[in-house]
Structure 1
Amino acid sequence: MAIGFSKNKLLREKEESFLSLIHENQEKLYRIAYSYVKNKDDALDIVQETVYKAYISYHKVKKIQYENTWLTRILINTSIDFIKKNNKVVSMDMEFIEKTSDFNNDNFHQTVEVKEAIEKLNEKQKTVIILRFFEDMKLEEIAKILESPVSTIKSTLYRALNEMNITLKE
């Protein structure tokens, strides 16, 4: 009887740990997903799919300090898979446009140009830009998430910024 109780307690603790991880990261997960698909409903679907995938494989996480990295990697892969699977041409969400009060505003046009430039990047470049500038992650964190050396992340970032600059100037 003591073994069964102990096993149930461990399962409960693991489940509580998982729920805590999701609760702490829910806004970040949504923001990243939204930055990929630019649509509230699709972003929520991606987050839901990510939580499901994370839940069924949570037992594979060996060290707690890697949980956030692991969860973010699942989200990024799920976002990219969603776009590929749905052959989505990601366009600007009308909600974003409606929230912008003055369409003649220079800031609005710059924001649109930046978003369009990001959409023209390849998936790895887009991911690095999103994590670095929209999620304010350090290059070392991005390297862990993407399982790449920091030097690779740096060169990907600089290539992406150069491409965006060329696109924005045109």
Structure 2
Amino acid sequence: MTIEEQVRAAQRGDDQAFYGLIHAERQRLFRIACTYLKNEEDAVEAIQETTYRAYLKLGKLREPRFFHTWLIRILIHYCLDERKRRRRMLPVDEVPERLSREVDLAGRIGLGMEIDNLKPKLRHVILLKYYEDMTLSEISRLLEKPEGTVKTWLHQALKQLRAACGGEGGEEHA
């Protein structure tokens, strides 16, 4: 059964189809929630709330092929709302290896804090690109922004991170 068929079945009331869709994405949802909320318990709660919201709104999903993007968007919105509600931000305690291969532990913690200090739109792009290994076109669809805008935000974020971490933030690399 394709994803589109599963989504259509779930929209018709097939709870097993909905469960299958959520079950297939559970690890990815958990990683994203942990990235935003920095706490496993909060991440599990975020997934529960996301599942609930998705179940209630499933009938409004127009394009079944975009189910996964739609589900991740619900999760990210919940995580952002939760962070605003708490009015506190914890530093990232672990930076993906791809983003900082040669940075020592103190540098990694500092980089994580710098990522937390980025503007939300820039932070989203960094987290989705380097923590979730999403392509720019996937990020573009998820954030509902043109791919060129996402590329610009990524460039700005990396430039700010280089500058904050003592790199060559102001210079262009050929």
TM-score (norm 1): 0.81
Cα deviation 1:6-56 (Å, max 9, x = unaligned): xxx876764223211211111111111111121111122211111111111
> Using the alignment, how far apart are the partners of 2:11 and 2:126 within structure 1?
38
> Is residue 10–residue 18 contact of structure 2 (8 Å, CA) maintained in 1?
no
* Corresponding residue of 2:90: 90
1:40 aligns with 2:48: no
* Corresponding residue of 1:70: 70
The one-letter amino acid paired with 1:24 is: A
Deviation at 1:110, TM superposition (A): 2.8
Q: Within 5 A, what are the aligned runs for 1:81-160?
A: 81-91=81-91, 107-160=104-157
User: Structure 2 residue aligned with 1:169, among 156, 166, 170?
Assistant: 166
- Aligned residues with identical type, % of pairs: 33
Larger Rg: 1
Moved more, 43-52 or 143-152: 43-52
> Using the alignment, how far apart are the partners of 2:21 and 2:11 within structure 1?
15
TM-score (norm 2): 0.79
> Is residue 33–residue 43 contact of structure 1 (8 Å, CA) maintained in 2?
yes
CA RMSD, Structure 1 to Structure 2 (Å): 2.2
> Using the alignment, how far apart are the partners of 1:57 and 1:148 within structure 2?
22
The one-letter amino acid paired with 1:54 is: A
Return 5+ residue gaps in structure 1 as ranges: 1-8, 98-105
> Using the alignment, how far apart are the partners of 2:89 and 2:111 within structure 1?
17
Structure 1 residues 143, 134: CA separation in 2 closer, same or farther (over 3 Å shift)? same
The one-letter amino acid paired with 2:128 is: L
